[in-house]
Amino acid sequence: ENNKKWIGWKGSVLFDEQTDEGIKGRNFAYKPVFVPEQVGIGQSHAVEIIDATQNSLLGKIAS
């Protein structure tokens, strides 16, 4: 699946929506990225992608 190639990617994500799955943002390629951490809408954070589904990327805030 195409999103698997994103695993390990690190970069900036702009968070723009709270969903049932968590906070959702978009990276430079407009891919939806979900993180478990609580971040504010409108904030950008460095994120590392740790998993991928067919429709979205799962990440964590990079330290």
Q: Which CATH number, 3.40.50.970, 1.10.10.10, 1.20.1260.10, 2.40.50.140, labels domain 2-61?
A: 2.40.50.140
Confidence of residue 63 (pLDDT cuts 50, 70, 90): confident
User: How do residues 3-39 score in pLDDT, each as one tens digit?
Assistant: 999 999 999 999 999 998 889 999 999 999 999 999 9
* Neighbour tally for 48: CB within 10 Å: 15
Of the candidates 22, 40, 32, which has an alpha carbon nearest to the alpha carbon of residue 57? 32
What are the structure tokens assigned to 39, written together? 């971040």
User: What residues are paired with 17 via a beta bridge?
Assistant: 24
Does the pLDDT at position 1 exceed 90?
Answer: no
Confidence of residue 57 (pLDDT cuts 50, 70, 90): very high
pLDDT at 15: 98
**Is the Cβ–Cβ distance between 56 and 31 less than 8 Å?**
yes
**pTM metric for this prediction:** 0.90
